[in-house]
Structure 1
Amino acid sequence: MSHDTAIHSLQGRRYLVTGATSGIGQAVALALCERGAAVVALGRRPEALQALADAGCETHALELTDSAALEQLIEATGPFDGLINSAGITHVESALTLPADAIDDVFHTNARASAVAARCVARGMIAAGRSGSIVNVSSQAALVALDDHLAYSTSKAALDGITRALCLELGPHGIRVNSVNPTVTLTPMAQKVWSAPEKRDPMLAAIPLGRFAELEDVVEPILFLLGDGAKMISGVCLPVDGGYTCR
């Protein structure tokens, strides 16, 4: 497949993007629009949804943990050629003091909502006879232990488990399922969180490439996994971490 063919393989296809009002999800939604795909973008921030609408996305405000509302919206807006599960929250706290409610909140958004979205999108794809690709935005925290990340790490490890389970079940229908597992990615929020040298420098020292990920460093692998250039890749949890997890 030529480079041009791989780029154009997203044109005219229809994708659902969750967590589209910030960070990786927003960047993916905009990149898909730029490449000629039709995008249905879900998020919670009205002003960010308006910016996506102005860029050509169909937008919907939704609380993803409301499974019934999520299912209804997917049934009403599908079928799709793929899904990018980018919605995620975190709660950074010692495992010794982490409240049970915080664990539930993180799991409900990062794992359960992603599983619900994936199965609903997949059902529509199968009914319409469409093959395609689902990409879950996981984390390096699913692959290695990080201090104070019990809820986040285990929720993202669960998401990687969802990726593998869906790969097995959906493969016979021509639907591929993969995860990307980024390191610290310099969204506006991350830039603030990781600006303090005492926090930033030890993490950078553990990344062989010596830098954090920019948004495009994560977006481009996602677009690759969605496109025809990755048509034999499924069930992969792909570190996008500058080598952090090689240790």
Structure 2
Amino acid sequence: MTAVLPQTPSFRLDGRRALVTGAGRGLGLAAATALARAGAEVTLCARSRSELEAVAETMCAEGLAADTLVLDVTDITSFAAAIEARPPYHVFVNNAGTNRPKPFTDVTPEDFDVVMGLNVRAAFFAAQAVCRRMIAAKIAGSVIHVSSQMGHVGGERRSIYCASKWAMEGFSKSMALDLAPHGIRVNTLCPTFIETPMTRPFFADATFRANVLAKIKLGRIGTVEDVMGAVLFLASDASALMTGSSLLIDGGWTAD
């Protein structure tokens, strides 16, 4: 008697188009690299033309498929117009974000508006623009919101950031319900503290670094490489039955 073995779903993305916002550095750069190496044609989106062109040039030199989209995602009208003018995407990594760490009593209306404007408003309408194109083209795609462990817990000096990521967790679940009939999956990726150009200055504070390490049970700050496999999993057929969920890469932070 011969056993019938199941086939492992593919992590490959050949023939698919992927859009990554905040792709010039940090997590966005890592996500774009992971997707391109899996065969996707990747559009790198950010405000900095020089950063994007340098990344695209390096990727193309490696034989990867990459182009650039230089714009500010907070300009939701321009972003929607740019997406409408391009072929639809199969994968969207909604990564652009920011933080202004301050004690709750020191947060200004400007701080609130900047963080919520990018992390919530721009992220929401960027996803809307991309998903409208997916639906029109009848693409069963994957939307990956780059959220945070702070969308599941609280943190000192993180009141606005936590508010923005809890909001993202909420609208992501509702998106998943609305888009499931179209075959579009929506999930969040929730890393712990990852060393990137945005977070590196925080770790110069020895007390802050020690406090973070005390909560990461695996005992180290995350790297962008720690997130790359998770992005590929959520983008590919390997996660075909996963939607409305959160994938926590937090070294055990939220387990305590």
Band of TM-score, shorter chain: over 0.9
- In the TM superposition, residue 78 of structure 1 has moved relative to its aligned partner by 2.9
Does residue 51 in structure 1 map to residue 54 in structure 2? yes
The match for 2:45 is 42
Whichever residue aligns with residue 164 of structure 1, its letter is K
Q: What is the rounded CA distance, in whole Å, between the counterparts of 1:11 and 1:115 in structure 2?
A: 27
The match for 1:173 is 182
Q: Given that residues 52 and 59 in structure 1 are in contact (C-alpha distance below 8 angstroms), is that contact kept between their aligned partners in structure 2?
A: no
Whichever residue aligns with residue 11 of structure 2, its letter is I
Indicate the RMSD between aligned Cα atoms, in angstroms: 1.3
Whichever residue aligns with residue 98 of structure 1, its letter is V
Q: What is the rounded CA distance, in whole Å, between the counterparts of 1:33 and 1:206 in structure 2?
A: 33
Q: Given that residues 144 and 187 in structure 2 are in contact (C-alpha distance below 8 angstroms), is that contact kept between their aligned partners in structure 1?
A: yes
Q: What is the rounded CA distance, in whole Å, between the counterparts of 1:184 and 1:21 in structure 2?
A: 19
Q: Which of residues 68, 88, 92 in structure 2 aligns to 1:79?
A: 88
Farther off after superposition, 170-179 or 106-115? 106-115
Q: Given that residues 16 and 39 in structure 1 are in contact (C-alpha distance below 8 angstroms), is that contact kept between their aligned partners in structure 2?
A: yes
The match for 1:195 is 204
- Structure 1: which 5+ runs fail to align? none
Q: What is the rounded CA distance, in whole Å, between the counterparts of 1:2 and 1:181 in structure 2?
A: 29
Whichever residue aligns with residue 184 of structure 1, its letter is F
Does residue 7 in structure 1 map to residue 11 in structure 2? yes
* 1:196-211 equivalence runs, <5 A: 196-211=205-220
- In the TM superposition, residue 188 of structure 1 has moved relative to its aligned partner by 3.5
Q: Given that residues 34 and 231 in structure 2 are in contact (C-alpha distance below 8 angstroms), is that contact kept between their aligned partners in structure 1?
A: no
Q: Which of residues 10, 17, 20 in structure 2 aligns to 1:17?
A: 20
Q: Secondary structure at the match of 1:77?
A: coil
1:52-103 deviations in Å (ceiling 9; x for gaps): 2212421021111111001001111231102000000111111112001211
- In the TM superposition, residue 184 of structure 1 has moved relative to its aligned partner by 0.5
Q: What is the rounded CA distance, in whole Å, between the counterparts of 1:196 and 1:26 in structure 2?
A: 25
Q: What is the rounded CA distance, in whole Å, between the counterparts of 1:170 and 1:162 in structure 2?
A: 12
Q: Hey, which bits of structure 1, 4+ residues long, moved more than 4 A?
A: none
Q: What is the rounded CA distance, in whole Å, between the counterparts of 1:111 and 1:92 in structure 2?
A: 17
The match for 2:63 is none
Whichever residue aligns with residue 130 of structure 1, its letter is I
- In the TM superposition, residue 110 of structure 1 has moved relative to its aligned partner by 0.6
Q: Which of residues 155, 159, 163 in structure 2 aligns to 1:154?
A: 163
Identity, % of aligned pairs?
Answer: 38
The match for 2:119 is 110
- In the TM superposition, residue 2 of structure 1 has moved relative to its aligned partner by 4.8
- In the TM superposition, residue 25 of structure 1 has moved relative to its aligned partner by 0.6
1:180-203 deviations in Å (ceiling 9; x for gaps): 111000113423321332111121
Farther off after superposition, 174-183 or 36-45? 36-45
- Structure 2: which 5+ runs fail to align? 1-5, 61-65
Q: What is the rounded CA distance, in whole Å, between the counterparts of 1:216 and 1:2 in structure 2?
A: 27
Does residue 66 in structure 1 map to residue 78 in structure 2? no
Q: What is the rounded CA distance, in whole Å, between the counterparts of 1:30 and 1:116 in structure 2?
A: 24
Q: Given that residues 179 and 185 in structure 2 are in contact (C-alpha distance below 8 angstroms), is that contact kept between their aligned partners in structure 1?
A: yes
Q: What is the rounded CA distance, in whole Å, between the counterparts of 1:121 and 1:49 in structure 2?
A: 20
Q: What is the rounded CA distance, in whole Å, between the counterparts of 2:25 and 2:147 in structure 1?
A: 15
Q: What is the rounded CA distance, in whole Å, between the counterparts of 1:153 and 1:78 in structure 2?
A: 34
Alignment: residue pair count: 245
Does residue 28 in structure 1 map to residue 31 in structure 2? yes
